[in-house]
């Protein structure tokens, strides 16, 4: 498996640390952190290429939709991973799929470790398509 390029966008430092440690435990070490969606967008516009962009299900919907529109126009991110509980009737993972983006996994915090291992295996093998919530 090549060294995956991962960007974690989380506004809460505790969640950034938890996700960073979870990726390290799975053998992924090229991890960047961001708490500002504008920085994520600027990085992508400057040519930052990612294997995986990790997003919080509770990020503001308007920010998420703007990001999805940009990602669908310039495919610099191979896959998305959503963490947390979707707000009632507002699944950002579903919206991302509607924009034609590959949602690798959509996982609640409680199942992060197991789902992350499966998701990274899928990404390393190059599988694309619509995956069920916790399976490859």
Which CATH number goes with the domain that contains 121? 3.40.50.2300
For residue 130, is it within any domain? no
Residue 74 lies in a domain: yes
Do the domain assignments include residue 58?
Answer: yes
Domain assignment present for residue 22? The answer is yes
Residue from 33, 29, 54 nearest 107 by CA: 54
- The reply to whether 132 falls in a domain is no
pTM higher than the cut 0.85? no
What is residue 128's predicted lDDT score, i.e. its pLDDT? 52
Residue 136 belongs to a domain: no
Total count of domains within the chain: 1
Q: How much is the pLDDT for 134?
A: 32
Flag whether 26 is in a domain. Answer: yes
pLDDT value for 75: 75
Which regions of the chain are under pLDDT 50? 1, 129-136
- Examine residue 53 and state whether it is found in any structural domain, yes or no: yes
Helix 61-73 × helix 37-45 angle, to 10°: 10
User: Do 32 and 9 touch, CB atoms closer than 8 A?
Assistant: no
Q: What is the pLDDT of residue 27?
A: 83
Instruction: State the residue range of the domain holding 117.
Output: 5-125
Measured between alpha carbons, how far is 12 from 35 in angstroms, rounded to an integer? 7
Contact 77, 71 (CB under 8 A): yes
């Amino acid at each position: 498996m090549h060294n995956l390029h991962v960007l974690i966008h989380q506004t809460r430092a505790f969640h950034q640390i938890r996700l960073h440690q979870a990726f390290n435990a799975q053998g992924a070490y090229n991890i960047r952190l961001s708490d500002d969606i504008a920085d994520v967008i600027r990085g992508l516009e400057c040519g930052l290429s990612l294997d995986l962009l990790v997003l919080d299900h509770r990020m503001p919907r308007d920010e998420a939709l703007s990001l999805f529109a940009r990602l669908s126009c310039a495919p610099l991110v191979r896959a998305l991973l959503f963490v947390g509980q979707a707000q009632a009737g507002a699944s950002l993972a579903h919206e991302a799929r509607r924009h034609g983006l590959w949602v690798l996994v959509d996982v609640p915090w409680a199942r992060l470790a197991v789902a992350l291992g499966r998701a990274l295996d899928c990404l390393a093998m190059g599988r694309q398509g619509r995956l069920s919530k916790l399976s490859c």
